[in-house]
Chain A
Amino acid sequence: MTKYTLDRFEESLGVLLKYPNEEEQLLIPKEEIAEFREGDILSVTKIDDEYSISLLSEETEKMRNKVNALMNKLKNKK
C-alpha cells in the first residue's frame, strides 16, 4: 500500500500527493473518492488495474492535531 494525502479537488479530479515527498501526484475522478475530504490521508493499493482506497483515519487525526498544535504555537509566539 502507498500513502497519499488528498491535497485538494480541482474541477472533477481529486489531487492526491504521495507521502512523504509529495512531489508525485495521483489524479482520481471526484466521484470515485466522493466520501473523502480535503486533508484526508489515504491508503492506496494497486492490484492489477484496480485500486483500492481507504481512509487512514488515525493518521489523519494525528497529523491534523500535529499541524494544529504547531499553528497554535506560532499564533501565541510574539
Chain B
Amino acid sequence: MRKLLMILLTAVLFFSFSGFQSSDAHAASRVMWGKTELKVGQIGKVTVLSNTNLVTLEANGSLKTVRTLKAGDEFRVYSYKSAHGGLYGVGGGQYVQKSSKVKYETPSKAKLALLEQQSSAPQNTVTPGSTKIMWGKTELKKGQIGKITVLGNTPVYDVNMKVVKTLKKGEEFRVYSYKNANGGMYGIGGGLFVKKGSSIKYETPSKSKLALLDIVNNKPLQVHFIDVGQGDSILIQTSNGKNMLVDGGAKSAGDEVVSFLKNKGVTKLDYVVATHPDADHIGGLISVLNTFQVSNFVDPGQSHTTQTYYDLLSLVDAKNINYVIPKAGSTINLDSNLGITVLNAAEAGDDNNEASIVLRLTYGNISVLLMGDADTATEQEIMGKYTVKSTVLKAGHHGSNTSSSQAFINAVKPAATVLSYGFENSYGHPHSEVVSRLKNAGSLLYSTVFSGNITMSTNGLSYSFNTKPWNGVTITPTPPVPEKPAVTPEPSKNPSSGTYILPGAPTSFSNCTSMRVYYPNGVQTGHPAYSTKHDRDNDGWACER
C-alpha cells in the first residue's frame, strides 16, 4: 500500500447528457429543443424536480440505484418501459423512475420531423455532372465495352450489312457490343456496325474505369461518423445494402448508436470492428451486439482485463458470431465494389493504441482512412508499407498530438478530416497543433462536437458532407462576470472561524490532517492557506469538519 495525495481531477459520470451544453455554433446544424440538442432516437426528456434515483434494471427485474440525481438535472430519454410504474430509459442501460419527482416532456412533431430531415437528407448532394467518367478525350458511358479510333476511311454497316456511311480518319466511336460474324463486328450503337480491320484501332477501358462506371450511378456509399461524445463510432453503408460498424463509443453511448443504426435502416451488421479494446471504443458495442444480428466480429486480438471487454467477447461467443483477428495487409470483403484494406493490426507487445486496427476504404476514386487511436509510430510504419493518401481522414486518437504527425499528414494529403471527440473532454482533444497542421495542409475539418452526427456520401467520383466544415476554433464559454466584487470577510480572532490567520502558521498544507493541526475547522476562501484541492465540494471551505 502506498499513500498518495489525491489529485482527483474529475470523476466523470458517463451519462448521455455529456453533449448537452451547447453554443451558437452548434445551432447551425443541430436541432435544438429548448436549451438542449434533440438527438436521433430521442423520444423525450426528463427534468429532475427533486432528488430521485438513477437506476439500472437487474437481471432478476429489480432496480439498483446508481446514484442520486439532483433537482435541475436533465436527461435525454430514448425508451420507455412500463415496469415499476414506468421507467424512462436515459441511455447506458440506466433509467429514471416515473414519479412526481420528475417532469417528462416530449418534443413536438415539427421538431422530430426537422431532425429526421436533417439526419437523413444530405445538404450538399452529389451534383449532377460530377458523374462523368472521362476516358481519354471522351466520356465512358454505361454499357460501353470499348472504343474505336478511325485510322483510314471505314464503312459503317446496318443490321442488313448495307453500307450507310463512311467514317473519316481521326473520328472516335463508343463500342457497345461485339459479334464474331463477318470476321468481327463492333456495335457502335443505333444498330450500326464497323468491321474489324486495319483501318480502325480498338481499345478497351481499364478494369478500374469499368468498376467506376458501375458504381457511379448506384446509390452512394455512406460513411456516418456518429456523435458518441468522447469516443469513436463509424457506420459504413454500401450501395448494395451492406453494413459495417467500426467502434461503438463508450458504454453510455450504446443506446444512441443503436437508435442511429435503426434510423439508418440497419437490421443486420455484416461486420463489427472493435479497433482496440479501450472503453471509449468498445463500450457501446455491447448494446449493438445485443440488438442486431452480427455476422463477423473483428478485433486486433489484443486482450484487456476490463469487464467491458470480457462482456463483449462473451456476447461474441454466446451469439456464435464469427471472430476474426486480421493481419496487416489483409482485406475485408464487405461489398464487391468497396475495397477495405487493414493497414495495421496488433503485434506482440503492443499497447492498446499501438494495436489499433487501421482501415483504408477505396470506392472508385475516393478513399477513406480510419485511424482508430493509432499513434505516430504506427503512422510511420504504415506510410512506409502502404498507400495512405486518402480523400477523407478520420484523424487518430480524437485529434490528439500522439497521432497526426506532420509527415503523416503530408503523406495522406486529406481533402477532409473528421475529428471525433467529446465537448470539453478532460484530455484537451483535439490538440491545437493537430488542428493547425491539418488546416495548413489544406484539409477541411469536420467535428462531431460542432456538427453532431456527420455523414459523408460518395459515388466514387465526388463526395459530399451533410454538414458545414468546422473552422477549427473552439468556442470557450465566457466565464460569468460577478455582479459585485467579492467581499473579503473581516479577519476573525476565532481560530475556528475559517478566516483567522494564525501567526507563523504555514500557508500550504499537503493534506487536511496537517492543516487541521493549525486550523481545526479548516479555512475559507480568501485565507492564505485556502486551496481548491482541499475544497472538493467547492463550498468555499477547505478541510471543513
Contact = CB atoms under 8 A, between A and B. Distances in A.
A15 B8 CA distance: 11
A8 B536 contact: no
Size band of the A side of the interface? 35 or more
Interface in B369-395: none
Interface string A45-60: 0101111111000001
Given A63-B305, A67-B304, A25 B278 contact: no
Given A7-B279, A74-B316, A50 B92 contact: no
A70 B278 CA distance: 18
B355 to A, nearest CB: 11
B7 A32 contact: yes
A52 B8 CA distance: 12
Contacts of B512: 48-49
Given A13-B9, A48-B513, A52-B4, A64 B307 contact: no
Residue of A23, A60, A67 ringed by the most chain B CB atoms within 10 A:
A23
B511 A49 contact: yes
B303 A71 contact: yes
A9 B254 CA distance: 22
B306 A24 contact: no
Contacts of A46: 6
B515 to A, nearest CB: 10
Contacts of B152: none
Q: From DSSP, what is the main secondary structure of chain A's interface residues?
A: mixed
A63 B252 CA distance: 23
B310 interface: yes
Given A8-B352, A63-B305, A64-B305, A27 B92 contact: no
A70 B308 CA distance: 14
Contact of B14 (A25, A71, A74): A25
Contacts of B351: 38
Given A23-B66, A28-B8, 7 more contacts: A10-B426, A15-B279, A21-B251, A25-B12, A38-B304, A49-B512, A49-B536
25 contacts: A5-B305, A22-B279, A23-B252, A25-B12, A26-B8, A26-B11, A29-B7, A39-B305, A40-B305, A46-B6, A49-B5, A49-B6, A49-B512, A49-B536, A50-B6, A52-B3, A52-B4, A60-B305, A64-B305, A67-B305, A67-B309, A70-B314, A74-B313, A75-B323, A77-B320
Nearest 7 A-B pairs (CB), nearest first? A51-B6, A74-B323, A39-B305, A63-B305, A10-B427, A11-B427, A23-B14
